[in-house]
Amino acid sequence: MIKRRLNIRMSGLGGQGAVTAAHVLAMAANRDGKFSISNPFFGAEKRMAPAESYCRIGIERIYDRGELVFPDVIQVFHPQVITMGKSYTMPFYSGVKEGGLVVINSDQELLSTDDIERLKDLNVKVFYIAGTELAIEVAGTELSTNMSMIGSVAGITKCVSMEALDGALQERFGKKFVASGGTASLDEAIKKKFAKKEMLLAKNLATVKAAYDIASAWAEKNQYELRVGNPAVAA
Amino acid sequence: MADIHSVIGTKNKKGQTYTDTWKLMNEAPRTPSFFTGSEVIKEALRRASCDVMIAYPITPQSEAAALIGELFAEGYIGDYFRGESEFAVMSQCAGAAFGGARVFTTTAGPGTMRAMENFPMWSGARLPIQMIVTCRGINSPLSIQPDTLEIAYLLNTGMLVWHAETAQDFFDWILKGYMVSEEPDVHLPLALCCDGFFVTHTKDVVNLTPADMCLPPYDPYRSPVPCMDMECPPVRMMRDPFVMKSNYISYATHASWQQEIWAAVERSRKHSIHWLNGLIDTENTDAEIIIVASGTAVSQGREAIRLLEDEGVRCGLVKVKTLRPWPEEEIREATKNAKHIFVPEFNVTGWLAKEIKATISNPERVHAGPRVCGGMTMPPEIIVSEIKTALGMKTFSLAGRGS
C-alpha cells in the first residue's frame, strides 16, 4: 500500500525516548525531502508513566497536529503499554487504520486472542522485535531502545533513508540541546554511557541499522508493503 | 533624543546589524530550519533586540523560557531573570517597560490567570510588552494540555491579542508584533497566543531570517505617555490617583482613559493590516460552506478541507489572525456568501463562535463547532463529520480512541 501520508504513533513510557524517536524520524524525513512534523503528548514528566509521540510523514504540506487518533503505524516501546494499559487508549491499537502496522518491542507474544482477531479483521500486521535486547547487544545500553524502534519502522516502511537518519542523529545529539529538565538529564545520562560523543552516535546508528535490517527482512518475507508516496503515480 | 533610524546599518555588541524591519521581514534571505515552536521563539528573540526577558516555569512555555535564558548567556538579551510567580513576573515586566525597556515574557494557562490583574494595568499604562501565551487547560482537575479558554479572558484587557497557527507565524509575528505594539498611536501590550504543545512542542519547517540581522532597538521616547524616570516620577498618577476622588472629573477621567485605550486598539488595525498582510487570511470564500477558525483549529480545518475535497464537497477557510483588533468588516465580507459557517475550537465555551455570531448578519448560519476541550485533539475527521451531518450527508461513525 502506498499512501500520501504515513501517520506513526509511538506509545512508550517516560524515559524511553519515544519523544526523541519521533523527532529524529521527522528530522530524517525532512532531510530526505519529504514533509514531516512530530510532536509529543504526555502528562507529568516522570519515568514509566505513559508517554506518546507522533510522527507524520507525507508528500504534501502537513497541517494536522496533536494526538494521532487514526494512525497507520503504532509502535509499542514497552510491554507495559499493552499488559498494564499504559497507553492513552484502550486497547492500545484503537483507531489503527486498515492495512496498518503494529510494531511491538518484546520477544514474546503479548496480544490476547481477541486482539489478534481484531487486528486480523483490520488486516493489520504485527511485527515483534526484541528492541531493548538489541539495544543492549549493539549499543551496550537499554537507553538505545528508541533506536531499535526507529530502525524497525524505517526498515519496514522505508519512510526515511539510513543516510538521513545518520544526519538527523548527528543533528540531535551532536550539539547541545536544551529541552525540558527531564530531557536534559536523560541526554546527560546517555552521554555518560559512552566515552565519547562520536561513540554515542556510532553505536546508536548501529542499533538503528541492526533493527532496520531485521525489520526489512521481515517485511520482505511477509510481503508487507506500507510506503509514503503518490498513489496515483505508483499506480 | 534617540533616533532609531540613525542606528540602521550599525552593529550591536553581538555583531548583528540593526536592520529596517520591513526589509528584514520581507526582503532578507530566509533559511528553512526544522525546529520546535519553542526553538523558534528563541530564534525570533535572538533577532528582536530585546532588553529584558523575565521568566517563570510553567508547561508548555518552560522550554521557550529556558532557551531564552541560553540566549541571555550568549549575550543577546539585555537582562534576564526569574520572577517569584507569574504575578511577580508580569509586575516586573511592567517595571522594566515603565523604565523604557523592550520587554518579553512567556506564560501559559494557570500562569496567565494568576497574572491577570496586570494585563489591564499594562494596557492602561500603555506598556508595549510582548507576552507569549502557550495556551493550556486552566481548570481543575489540573491539565497541562492545550485548551484555548484563557484567550477568552484576555480579550477585554485592552491588550492586542493575536492567535498564531504555526511556528512560522510565531517567528514572524514576534518581530512584527513589536513594530505594531510600539507605534506611538498604539503603544499597547501584545498577547501573542498559540495552542500549547501543538505549536511549542511540534517540529516543523520554519523559514528564518539571517541571525546576524536584528530589529532596531525600542525607542521609549516614542511613548505617548512619559516613561518612568526615577528623577521625575509621575507622583500624581502613582500616589494620588483619581480613584481616591469621588467627583465628576474623576469618573470622566477614567472613562476617557478607557476609551483612549480601546481607541488605541482600533488604531492598531492599520498597522496590523500593514505588517500581517491583513487581519484574516482567506481561501475559497465563494464556497457555500466556510470554516472560520484561529490557531491550531485553522490547521485542522485545512486538513478537513482536503478530506472534503476528496468527497466532492467544496469548503472555504477564514483564518482569524488578530482577535484584538477584531476583524469585524473582514469577517463580514469573507462570510457573506456562506450558507454554513463552521467554527472549530479548542475550548468548551466556543468564544470565537460567539464573537462571530455577534459580528455577522444571519448568525443562525454559524455552527458553533466542533469543539474539543481539556487537552483533546481535534482530528480533521470530526470536522468533516460535523459538516456532513449538518448538510444532511451520510457520515461514517467515528471509531474514536477508547472504542
CB contact under 8 A, A39 and B202: yes
Nearest to B127 by CA among B175, B187, B50, B53: B187
Give this prediction's pTM.
0.91
Kindly state the cell numbers that stand for B3: 533616533
> Is some CB atom of chain B closer than 8 A to the CB atom of A65?
yes
CA A199 remoteness from chain centre: 22
Nearest chain B Cα distance for residue A93, angstroms:
9
Residues of chain A in contact with residue B378, where contact means CB-CB under 8 angstroms, are 66
> Is some CB atom of chain A closer than 8 A to the CB atom of B183?
no
Nearest chain A Cα distance for residue B75, angstroms:
17
CB contact under 8 A, A37 and B203: yes
The mean per-residue pLDDT over the stretch A141-166 comes to 96
Q: Are B111 and B58 in contact (CB under 8 A)?
A: yes
- B198 closest CB neighbour out of A30, A36, A65: A65
Residues of chain B in contact with residue A81, where contact means CB-CB under 8 angstroms, are none
Kindly state the cell numbers that stand for B254: 477614567
Q: How many CB atoms lie within 10 A of CB B380?
A: 22
Supply the pLDDT for residue B238: 55
Supply the pLDDT for residue A206: 96
> Is some CB atom of chain A closer than 8 A to the CB atom of B374?
no
Taking only residues 130 to 159 of chain A, the set having a beta carbon closer than 8 angstroms to any beta carbon of chain B reads none
Taking only residues 64 to 83 of chain B, the set having a beta carbon closer than 8 angstroms to any beta carbon of chain A reads 66-67, 70
The mean per-residue pLDDT over the stretch A205-220 comes to 97
Residues of chain A in contact with residue B67, where contact means CB-CB under 8 angstroms, are 178
- A37 closest CB neighbour out of B145, B202, B399: B202
Q: Which residue of B has its CA nearest to A89?
A: B402
Q: Are A147 and A210 in contact (CB under 8 A)?
A: no
Nearest to B131 by CA among B186, B178, B166: B178
Residue with cell 490557531: B295
Kindly state the cell numbers that stand for B239: 500616589
Nearest chain B Cα distance for residue A119, angstroms:
14
The predicted complex's ipTM stands at 0.86
Report the half-sphere exposure of B141 (CA within 13 A, side-chain side).
2
> Is some CB atom of chain A closer than 8 A to the CB atom of B281?
no
- Cα–Cα distance for residue pair B27/A183, rounded to 1 Å: 37
- Cα–Cα distance for residue pair A83/B343, rounded to 1 Å: 40
Supply the pLDDT for residue B233: 57
- Cα–Cα distance for residue pair A158/A153, rounded to 1 Å: 8
Kindly state the cell numbers that stand for A27: 528530522
Q: Which residue of A has its CA nearest to B34?
A: A27
Residue ranges of chain B whose pLDDT lies below 70? 1-5, 227-247, 249, 396-403
> Is some CB atom of chain B closer than 8 A to the CB atom of A88?
yes
Q: Which residue of A has its CA nearest to B300?
A: A64
> Is some CB atom of chain A closer than 8 A to the CB atom of B56?
no
- Cα–Cα distance for residue pair B96/B129, rounded to 1 Å: 9
pLDDT at A92 over 60: yes
Written out in words, the top-level CATH class of the domain with range B280-390 is: alpha beta
Q: How many CB atoms lie within 10 A of CB B386?
A: 19
Residue-range domain boundaries for chain B: 7-222, 280-390
CB contact under 8 A, B203 and A38: yes
Supply the pLDDT for residue B403: 40
Residue with cell 525607542: B219
Supply the pLDDT for residue B402: 43
> Is some CB atom of chain B closer than 8 A to the CB atom of A30?
yes
Nearest chain B Cα distance for residue A212, angstroms:
24
User: What's the CATH architecture for B7-222?
Assistant: 3-Layer(aba) Sandwich (3.40)
- Cα–Cα distance for residue pair B151/B373, rounded to 1 Å: 13
> Is some CB atom of chain B closer than 8 A to the CB atom of A212?
no
Q: Which phi and psi (to 5°) does residue B340 adopt?
A: -130, 130
Q: Which residue of B has its CA nearest to A54?
A: B202
DSSP chain A: -EESEEEEEEEEETTS-HHHHHHHHHHHHHHTT-EEEEEEEESS--TTSEEEEEEEEESS-----SS-SS-SEEEE-STHHHHS--SSSSSTTTTPPTT-EEEEE-SS----HHHHHHHHHTT-EEEEE-HHHHHHHHTSSGGGHHHHHHHHHHHHH--S-HHHHHHHHHHHHSS-----HHHHHHHHHHHHTSSSHHHHHHHHHHHHHHHHHHHHHHHHHTT---EES-HHHH-
> Is some CB atom of chain B closer than 8 A to the CB atom of A25?
no
Q: Are A71 and A153 in contact (CB under 8 A)?
A: no
* Tens-place pLDDT, residues B115-165: 999 999 999 989 999 999 999 999 888 888 899 999 999 999 999 999 999
Residues of chain A in contact with residue B36, where contact means CB-CB under 8 angstroms, are 23
DSSP designation for B210: P
Chain A interface mutation, best of B31, B34, B298, highest count of A Cβ atoms under 10 Å: B34
Report the half-sphere exposure of B182 (CA within 13 A, side-chain side).
27
DSSP designation for B93: H
When mean pLDDT is compared across A22-36, A43-57, B21-35, the lowest value belongs to: A43-57
- Cα–Cα distance for residue pair B120/B159, rounded to 1 Å: 7
Q: CB-based contacts of A32: which residues, under 8 Å, 6+ apart?
A: A160, A161, A164
The mean per-residue pLDDT over the stretch A205-213 comes to 97
CB contact under 8 A, B201 and A39: yes
Q: Are B208 and B171 in contact (CB under 8 A)?
A: yes
Nearest to A57 by CA among A131, A165, A136: A165
Chain A interface mutation, best of B58, B82, B194, B203, highest count of A Cβ atoms under 10 Å: B203
CB contact under 8 A, A66 and B34: no
Same fold, B7-222 and B280-390: yes
Supply the pLDDT for residue B253: 76
Supply the pLDDT for residue A183: 66
Strands A125-129 and A101-105: parallel
> Is some CB atom of chain A closer than 8 A to the CB atom of B33?
no
- B62 closest CB neighbour out of A44, A68, A180: A180
Measured CA distances, B107 to A6, B65, B159, B191, B224 (Å): 34, 9, 15, 10, 27
Contacts 24+ apart (CB under 8 A), B95-99: B96/B51, B96/B52, B96/B54, B97/B122, B97/B125, B97/B127, B97/B128, B97/B129, B98/B125, B98/B127, B98/B227, B98/B228, B99/B227, B99/B228
* Tens-place pLDDT, residues A109-144: 999 999 999 999 999 999 999 999 999 999 999 999
- Cα–Cα distance for residue pair B334/B284, rounded to 1 Å: 9
Report the half-sphere exposure of B39 (CA within 13 A, side-chain side).
16
Q: pLDDT: is A80 or A235 the higher one?
A: A80
CA B118 remoteness from chain centre: 17
Buried b (16+ CB within 10 A) or exposed e, B61-78: bbbbbbbbbebbeeebbb
CB contact under 8 A, B299 and A38: no
Chain B interface mutation, best of A69, A94, A119, A183, highest count of B Cβ atoms under 10 Å: A69
Q: Which residue of A has its CA nearest to B202?
A: A39
- B377 closest CB neighbour out of A37, A38, A66: A66
Residue A187: exposure state from Cβ atoms within 10 A (0-12, 13-18, ≥19): middle
Supply the pLDDT for residue B247: 67
When mean pLDDT is compared across A39-48, A178-187, B90-99, B244-253, the lowest value belongs to: A178-187
Nearest chain A Cα distance for residue B238, angstroms:
40
The single-letter code of the amino acid at B93 is C
CB contact under 8 A, B204 and A27: no
Chain A interface mutation, best of B40, B170, B202, B346, highest count of A Cβ atoms under 10 Å: B202
Cα-only R_g, chain B: 22
